[in-house]
Amino acid sequence: MAFSEGLSDTGEFTGRGNPFVRGSITGVGTFVGGILHTLPFLIPHYRAAIILAIIVVGFELVVLAWLRWRYFEVSFARALATVTLGGVVIAAVSAGLGTAA
């Protein structure tokens, strides 16, 4: 993700800033999100791990909504609805692929 973000444009046309900085931010965000999603499953009790993972994902969705509100000037409710809908779609596709034969 970081590599594709860095290569997507120079930032001159879109005003999105330096590609190295954008790629670095995306890479760090992807790494931290991946770690936060998987760390709960080091807990040996499945139910506790799932509950903690759901709490972590909920926290991440609120943080993403706050970032959209803060930097993209979107209402917090709309930002939360958008990232939650995106999360639900990702979870549904993942569940569908996970159960495919």
What six digits make up the tokens of 61? Answer: 């969705």
The confidence score (pLDDT) of residue 84 equals 93
The confidence score (pLDDT) of residue 99 equals 87
- What's the pTM? 0.72
Domain ranges within the chain, ordered by starting residue: 1-42, 44-101
DSSP sequence for the chain: -HHHHHHH--STTT----HHHHHHHHHHHHHHHHHHHHGGGGSS-HHHHHHHHHHHHHHHHHHHHHHHHHHH---HHHHHHHHHHHHHHHHHHHHHHHH--
State the chain's mean pLDDT as an integer: 85
For the chain, list residues with pLDDT below 50: none
The confidence score (pLDDT) of residue 7 equals 60
The confidence score (pLDDT) of residue 40 equals 93
Count the neighbouring beta carbons within 10 Å of the beta carbon of residue 13.
Answer: 7
